[in-house]
Amino acid sequence: MTAALTHSFDGIASRIDASGARSVGFTSTLAGEGTSTIALGTALALAELRQEKVLLVDANWIRPSLTSDAHQDSALGLADHLARRTDLSKAIRSLGRSHLEFLPIGDRDAARPTLRGLATFLTTDVARFPTVLIDLPPVLTGEMYVLPWASLLDHLFVVLREAATPLPLVRQALGKIGLGAPEIILNRSAAAAPELTRSLIAAQTAGFR
């Protein structure tokens, strides 16, 4: 069952791997889209695929659910590190059996993410990690916690829930992020991913003719 669950995220993991990206962020339009679930699943799948260290960072200042799942609510974390309260090595948790390591949010009141602080964090502080995955809050409710990451990450994915996320709000969120060509991850898709990929390619090919 474990393998089956993580294999659900093999598609995303393999594409991230193929793109050679090191830092990847996951955000959404609204809460409840499955962003943290996808971040967690992708981290597990990437750790298994790359067989090297993957750092999963809970940067959701609004609702740090990964930190709660890891029972690290009162532990030191990212916010404490950005506030220079602690050394990063004391905040990162190694998760036993896999290559996955986890950085909880910490005390959210200690600091806010800034472009400069995050740039240092990504390029220097976690330089030893070949892969860094960031779980971010929804754009529309946590714009100030998402935008500083947008220009620093190799990929920033917007997670949509199929047949649920209102399109006008998605457009609004994409407009706020302001990337040239935002990338979408469609969650809870009814069709099987490989078939969808084939049909998508076929449709795009037909459209170009």
Partner 1 sequence: MVSQWRARSVPSVRRYVTAAMRYRWVILGILAVVWGAGLAGAYHEYTTTYESQATIWVLRPSPELSNTNPEDPGTPVIQTVASQQAELLSQLLRSDSFVREVVDQTSQRSALRSAPNEMAFLAGIRKRFDVETLGTNMLRVSYTTSDPRTPVEMVNAALTVRTERVLQARATSTAAVGTLYRREFETAQAQALDAARELDAFKTSHTGTLAPADESHLAQLQLAVDFAQSRLNELRGRADRAAVAAAVLEMSGLEFEVVDEPREQGTPSGGGRAAAILALVSLAAGSLLAGLLVFAGTVLADHVAGPLDVGRLAPARLFATVPRVAIPGSGSERDLRTALARIAFDDAEASRTV
- Ramachandran quadrant class, 34 (left: phi over 0; alpha: psi -120 to 50; beta: rest): left
- Smallest gap, in angstroms, from Cβ of residue 26 to partner 1? 11
- Smallest gap, in angstroms, from Cβ of residue 89 to partner 1? 5
What is the identity of the amino acid at 191?
Answer: A
Site string for partner 1, 25-54 (x = CB under 8 A): ---------x-xxx-xx-xx----------
Q: Which is nearer to partner 1, 63 or 112 (CB)?
A: 63
- Smallest gap, in angstroms, from Cβ of residue 138 to partner 1? 15
Tell which one of 31, 143, 174, 176 touches partner 1 (CB under 8 A). 174
Angle between helices 167-177 and 143-150 (to 10 degrees): 50
- Smallest gap, in angstroms, from Cβ of residue 152 to partner 1? 18
Look at strands 23-28 and 155-161 and give their pairing.
parallel
> Binders of partner 1 among 52-111, rule CB under 8 A?
56, 66, 69-72, 89-90, 92-98, 100-102
Q: Using CB atoms within 10 A of its CB, is residue 42 exposed (0-12), middle (13-18) or buried (19+)?
A: buried
Which residue's entry shows tokens 């679930």?
Answer: 37
Q: Which is nearer to partner 1, 20 or 192 (CB)?
A: 192
Tell which one of 31, 62, 152, 196 touches partner 1 (CB under 8 A). 196
DSSP character at residue 29:
S
Determine how many CB atoms are found less than 10 A away from the CB of residue 164: 12
